[in-house]
Amino acid sequence: MPSPIEIYILGSGSAIPTLQRKHPAVALRYEGECLLFDCGECTQLGLQKAGISPMKIKRIFITHWHADHFAGLLPLIETLHMLGRKKALYIYGPEARRFVDYILELSYLSFGFKIKAKDVSIEEKERIVNEKKYYVYSFPVRHSVPCVAYIFQEKAHWKMNPQKLTELKIPREKIRKLKARKKINLNGKEIRLAEVAEKIEGRKIIYSGDTLPVKELFEEAKNAVLIHEATFKYKRDTGFYHSSIEEVCELAKKYGVRKLILMHFSRRYKKHASLEKFAKRLFESIIVAKDGMKIVV
């Protein structure tokens, strides 16, 4: 069984938060680690409600520097400092270094841990994290200011077939070598990994903050879980900067998104149930996010 990937919707609202929908923030838990995508106001309270220690967060991915997507960063950093953090914190985003510098100018504290801001490309997809079991990529989208989406890509792994291993009499100590080199020589006979194991493709979760619908992002989201903004219900309302449920559902259907999670709703939509009803008619495999929701992939 692969480890679960847990997605926590800490805030599902947009620029003006409401009591029901706070500023955007999404936590992803995987193998004991926590990745945070956007960090609007009240993110640390969202983490508390979800029972996630902020100390588990190693990396924060900011889609763009509008306050609703980062206003919780400085208070979160100060909390980490007061909790005695020692491990470095990585913050990604377009122009991350410039903005993180300004944020740190707002503090008298000299923090007990390193804060490493990393600029990401707004021109092309970029691999920004290469961990043992996953990658993270940034992916340019289209908003009123430099803005990216992020792709969490679990690495593929091989699931060994014990029956085949026995049949071919492969000793236990050779298995690691076989996994690493994809083939080994055993008593003069070449054995390929694919003969004794099945390749399991990794799961893919995409988080997009504010954006117009970008076709290339939906191509990227084929068979993936896509967390996407849908500030408005109708295409006619989106203007130049945002997406609507109508548009996102249409593209999700067209490009074969496995599971669509919508968030970043305008405060004009007061009834969750009616948003949900509207969205479910347009795309079947959909979740209309709520603050405090947990989704296991």
Q: Which residues bind a second copy (CB under 8 A)?
A: 15-19, 22-23, 40-42, 44-45, 48-49, 65-68, 71-72, 74-75, 77-79, 82-83, 99, 102-103, 105-108, 144-145
Question: Quick one: 137 or 269, whose CB is closer to a second copy?
Answer: 269
Nearest to 69 by CA among 145, 5, 151, 123: 145
Is residue 208 within 8 Å of 187, Cβ to Cβ?
no
Candidate list 38, 68, 210, 291, residue with the active-site label? 68
Active site (annotated) includes residue 210: no
To a second copy, the closest distance from the beta carbon of 147 in angstroms equals 11
To a second copy, the closest distance from the beta carbon of 284 in angstroms equals 34
Give 158's Cβ-side CA count (13 Å radius). 18
Question: Quick one: 46 or 218, whose CB is closer to a second copy?
Answer: 46
To a second copy, the closest distance from the beta carbon of 234 in angstroms equals 20
Give 22's Cβ-side CA count (13 Å radius). 22
Is residue 15 within 8 Å of 66, Cβ to Cβ?
yes
Q: Which amino acid is at 204?
A: K
CA-to-CA separations, 181 to 176, 191, 194, in angstroms, rounded: 9, 11, 11
To a second copy, the closest distance from the beta carbon of 57 in angstroms equals 15
H-type alpha helices, 39-171: 43-50, 67-70, 73-82, 96-105, 162-167
Question: Quick one: 105 or 124, whose CB is closer to a second copy?
Answer: 105
Question: Quick one: 12 or 153, whose CB is closer to a second copy?
Answer: 12
Question: Quick one: 40 or 213, whose CB is closer to a second copy?
Answer: 40
Is residue 93 within 8 Å of 120, Cβ to Cβ?
yes
To a second copy, the closest distance from the beta carbon of 104 in angstroms equals 10
Which segments within 193-255 are labelled E, that is strand?
197-200, 204-208, 225-229
Residue that the structure tokens 């979760």 belong to = 205
The length of the chain in residues reads 297
Tokens of 172: 């236990």
Give catalytic residue positions. 68
